[in-house]
Structure 1
Amino acid sequence: MNFDDYQKAANRTLMGNEQVLTNCALGLTGESGEVADLIRKYTFQSKKLDHDELVKELGDVLWYLSQISEWADIPFDEVATDNIKRLEKRYPAQSDGVNQVNI
């Protein structure tokens, strides 16, 4: 699935009113916090990093990002493509073919 297809499919589940942008921005912070909390528990409490739970929470983050992009009339593929271009510029390929990315 490409990002634009995802964005269109995800948009069918969006409910709300004129406060859609605020809802999505706040939802994004909440779901990002869920991802961070899973990693915190893994790092500092020696909890197992549950693959399925992490996939679920990352999916929730992706949904909110796609809907903010939808609200702003920005194709989600454009967001992904622009990000990769900026990363390639910021972190050009190393001579050994390995990139060290510290975002």
Structure 2
Amino acid sequence: MNFNEYQKAANKTLRGNEQVLTNCALGLGSETGQVVDLVKKYTFHGEELNREQLVKEMGDVLWYLSQIAEWNNVPFEEVADFNIKRLNKRKDAMLKD
């Protein structure tokens, strides 16, 4: 499945139609916090990093992010492509120094 296919498939699971952007932005923050919490507990509390839980929470982050993109008519693949190009430019600039 490519990014755009995921975005469209994820959109079929979206419920409600009012304040979608706000709901998705708040959900993204919440789910990102859950990923951060798993890493914090692993790093500082000596807990095992539960891969299954990490994958679940990362999937939730991906869902909310894809729906923010969908709401703004931004193909998810465009976001990924733009990001890689920007990172490569940054890497190339660092290598020149």
Query: What is the TM-score of this pair, normalised by structure 1?
Result: 0.88
Q: How far off its partner does 1:34 sit?
A: 0.2
In structure 1, list runs of 5 or more residues that go unmatched.
96-103
Q: Deviations over 1:21-64 (max 9, x none)?
A: 00000000000000000000000000000110000000000000
| 1:16 Cα offset (Å) | 1.4
Question: Alpha-carbon deviation of 1:18?
Answer: 2.2
Residue of structure 1 in register with 2:73 after alignment = 73
CA distance in 2 between counterparts of 1:4 and 1:19 reads 23
TM-score (norm 2): 0.94
1:32 aligns with 2:56: no
Instruction: Give the Å deviation of 1:94.
Output: 8.3
Secondary structure of 1:92's counterpart equals: helix
Q: Give the number of aligned pairs.
A: 95
Distance 1:39 1:53 in 2: 11
Q: Which residue of structure 2 aligns with residue 2 of structure 1?
A: 2
1:92 is displaced (CA, Å) by 2.3
Instruction: Work out the CA distance in 2 between the residues paired with 1:56 and 1:43.
Output: 19
Residue 91 (structure 1) shift: 1.1
Structure 2: gaps of 5 or more residues: none
Runs of 4 or more above 2 Å deviation: 92-95
Looking at structure 2, the residues matched to 23 and 80 of structure 1 have their Cα atoms a distance apart, in angstroms, of 22
Equivalent position SS for 2:86: helix
Q: Structure 2: how far apart are the matches of 1:79 and 1:94?
A: 23
The alignment partner of 1:91 has SS state of helix
